Amino acid sequence: GILIAICGYNPFEIYSALFIESFSSRSSVALVLSESMPMIFAGLAFVVGIKVGLVNVGVEGQMLSGAMCAAVVGAYCTWLPGPLLILACLLAGMIGGGLTFLLCTYLKSRFNASEVITCIMMNNIMAKVTEWLCNGPLKPEGVSIGQTKEIPEAAYLTALIPRTKLTWAFPLAVVCCIVMYIILEKTVVGFEMRVTGINKTASVVAGIRTNQMYYLSAFLSGAFAGLGGAGLVLGIYHRFM
């Protein structure tokens, strides 16, 4: 606000216009909610990791991995019926994202490599790998822009509001947040994850299998990020590009 005022503009007018326009119509609200979907999954991925002391700064790479896996399954497993194809794409996205962060966590557990450094490196690796796949073996013939084959309409996540980008990926993100909250706060596994993050030494003394908690949390964290990427592919872009 101070910088806006220094530039000679009224910050109150700008911020009021920003909020009013964002919620002035049904399509505006739908756009805000649809754009928040990948950020919800990204935030959830970070929270799940940080609960056991893992700093997941590799959400970008995990989303790319999950999106690519979902796009490949959707494009080439067309023999599956619609609901099963959607489920297979979402599971593929979760597995792709989960394995990506799981690798970084394994390097931390086995070689004491900082997950922050390995995640940053993995972001660049996944960006280059997916770019190569889009412009190489998975690129359809007759297409100038790097992308994968389009998924069939049966695999689309339909729009909640017609002619908007708000798809069923948004309520899926909300449900995942609620489920993960219940797991972390109301279950034994969630308690063990939180104790591991608070004090690893005390958790070992208490008999908690800390390495298993690390790996479980890492896979769940990456899986949620990958699910966000899969939601973009199935709901908006219908291909990886």
Over residues 20-43, the pLDDT tens digits come to 888 888 898 999 999 999 999 999
Which residues are CB-neighbours of 1 under 8 A, at least 6 positions away?
11, 15
Query: Alpha-carbon distance 27 to 181, whole Å?
Result: 30
pLDDT given at position 18: 81
**Residues lower than pLDDT 50 in the chain:** none
Find the helix or strand (DSSP H, E) in which 40 lies. Answer: helix 26-50
pLDDT given at position 71: 97
pLDDT given at position 17: 80
pLDDT given at position 131: 96
pLDDT given at position 209: 92
What pTM does this model have?
Answer: 0.93
CA distances from 126 to 91, 179, 207, 234 (A): 19, 28, 36, 20
Backbone dihedral region of 56: left (phi > 0), alpha (psi from -120 to 50 degrees) or beta? beta
Alpha helices in 112-209 (DSSP H): 115-135, 169-186, 188-198, 200-205
Would you give the DSSP letter of residue 153? G
Backbone angles phi, psi at 230, to 5 degrees: -65, -35
